[in-house]
Amino acid sequence: MKRAPSPMVVKGEAIPNIPWEEKPAECSAAVWRSSLNPIVPRDLLPNSNSIFNSAVVKFKGEFAGVFRMDATTRFQNLMKGSSSDGIRWKLDPEPIKFISNTPERYYSTGYDPRVCWIEDRYYVTWCNQYHGPTIGVAWTRDFEKFHLLENAFLPFNRNGVLFPRRIRGKYAMLSRPSGPGHNTFGSIFYSESPDMTYWGKHRLVMEPRSGWDSAKIGAGPTPIETKEGWLMIYHGVLISCSGFVYSAGAALLNLDEPWKVIARAKPYLWSPQRLYECVGDTPNVVFPCAALCDAPTGRLAIYYGCADTCIGLAFAQVDELVDFVKKNAG
């Protein structure tokens, strides 16, 4: 069947083997879940307590990723993984060993990674620990050797998400300055760097607001460049009578000045409603960390953590998400 082009995507690559399921006839939402969920179970490795909040990219015609695996010791590890179809995954049994010739380049523990291809290599960002949570940065070309760079920011910070190209000649990143522990606040900020080492020109992008994202927010997958702006999928947190509830939403950011919000959808895209999203080590969590995009068709495959326990897969069309954001802006 001929693949219809998507008018919204202006940058990106073709991923003809992207994981995909057509939208069910009864589904009226902009995002729908895979019938195979959860695609990565908590016990994929013999010593894993949980595998969740992980990043996936296209690699050599197949797929590779960096995964958060909390071991049965409850130590937080970053693991590399591979898949031929983006659904059935094989994880290396040993945590990633970062290469560094400078002792001050410190890696202690890692969680909630993102992976982004920029120019000639894959960059990995994650929540590192250096006297508190901060943004760790490394790069790889082959998913075998991972070279550790300087932490991007002082503690405390989380959810470091790179843009897939330089903006006005600078590397660009979204992050959420925060506090120690499982804090109850946080907004999304934009920062830029000339060399992936020194970060500055920090700008506020979005703050929490009343409703499903009233406590704190954080960027999710690598932003997707469209003719309408950067499509940013993010998570938002509501504090309910039984604790935190993590849902996923979307916004459009200005292409040249991404700290300027063009539109932000008031409703969430999807929220914890399935059993595997509601029951787990941290109940009521959907936490998107990666999105594969097939540029010619605008198909999206979104990988997200479920209840801090396992990994789910959801699908969407870029043009439908952009329309959703614009029609439901508020």
Averaged over successive runs of 10 residues, the pLDDT of the chain (330 residues) comes to: 58 94 96 98 98 98 98 96 98 95 75 98 96 95 96 96 98 95 92 98 98 98 97 98 96 98 98 98 98 96 98 97 96
Other Cβ atoms less than 10 A from the Cβ of 312: the count is: 25
Asked whether residue 19 is assigned to any structural domain, the reply reads: no
Asked whether residue 316 is assigned to any structural domain, the reply reads: yes
Q: Is the dihedral of CA 214, 218, 219, 221 positive or negative?
A: negative
What whole-number distance in Å separates Cα of residue 127 and Cα of residue 136? 6
Give the tokens for residue 65: 């990723």
**pLDDT number for residue 114:** 98
Tokens 């329309």 locate to 323
**pLDDT number for residue 164:** 97
pTM reported for the whole predicted model: 0.97
Asked whether residue 17 is assigned to any structural domain, the reply reads: no
Asked whether residue 21 is assigned to any structural domain, the reply reads: no
Query: CATH number for the domain including 205?
Result: 2.115.10.20
What whole-number distance in Å separates Cα of residue 50 and Cα of residue 73? 11
**pLDDT number for residue 183:** 86
Asked whether residue 294 is assigned to any structural domain, the reply reads: yes
Asked whether residue 181 is assigned to any structural domain, the reply reads: yes
**pLDDT number for residue 149:** 95
- Domain tally, the chain: 1
Asked whether residue 20 is assigned to any structural domain, the reply reads: no
Asked whether residue 13 is assigned to any structural domain, the reply reads: no
Enclosing domain of residue 96: 40-327
